[in-house]
Amino acid sequence: MFVVIEGIEGSGKSTLHKGLVERLSTEGRDVVVTREPGGTATGDAIRSIFLDRTLTIDPLTETFLVNAARAQHVAEVIRPALDANRLVLCDRFTDSTLAYQGYGRGLDLASLQRLCDEATGGVTADLVLLIDLPVDVARARMQARSYVLDRIESQDAAFHERVRRGYLELAKSPRHRVLDGTLAQDRLLEEAWNFISTS
């Protein structure tokens, strides 16, 4: 089973991811934990270019970068794990490309979908947990962490609003479950866990 967690920055994705990994391990589930962009040595090298705030990167270049990392990720990590019937828990996948490069940057969604399909070779998530919350709440959380924002985090609020709206559009598909990101961490974990265990 392939489970993906999605959401804007500051949505609590990483905390939920960590909580789910602990829960799955406690339950004795064989889980492969990974993320995008990244998940492989090649993907992590691409990630550091992708997030480098000193670089100016064209939206189409962004798209190729994340999909280059994704092709490697699917080939090296995700497909072998799914073939071995392992549970894969991935922080971001193709929805991020549709939300950020599509709704956020304004690239054509159908073209992005084709490129993602090429990169994944048809591997799709069985379940996507989307953590949704208002952009101003997410940004306040990020600012409270007081670290230097990366290239995407430092985009303006309008960009992040478009990404959030895009995610909500994508979440109309039956593979998606929307979680309320303003909930306390333990409630969020409980809801996510229920979705996973009943899928």
- Please report how close the Cβ of residue 24 comes to ligand TMP at its closest, in angstroms: 20
Per the CB < 8 A criterion, the answer to whether 107 and 60 are in contact is yes
Q: Which is nearer to ligand TMP, 36 or 191 (CB)?
A: 36
- Please report how close the Cβ of residue 27 comes to ligand TMP at its closest, in angstroms: 25
Per the CB < 8 A criterion, the answer to whether 127 and 173 are in contact is no
Q: How many residues contact ligand TMP, by CB under 6 A?
A: 13
- Please report how close the Cβ of residue 28 comes to ligand TMP at its closest, in angstroms: 27
Q: Give phi and psi for 33, each to the nearest 5.
A: -105, 125
Which amino acid type is present at position 69?
A: A
Radius of gyration of the chain (CA): 16
Pairwise CA distance, residues 129 & 176, whole Å? 6
Per-residue binding string, ligand TMP, 64-103, x by CB under 6 A, is --x------------------------xx---xx--xx--
Per-residue binding string, ligand TMP, 138-167, x by CB under 6 A, is --------------xx--------------
Distances (CA, A) of 17 to 10, 42, 79, 88, 151: 13, 22, 20, 12, 22
Q: Which is nearer to ligand TMP, 25 or 61 (CB)?
A: 61
Binding residues for ligand TMP (CB under 6 A)? 9, 35-37, 66, 91-92, 96-97, 100-101, 152-153
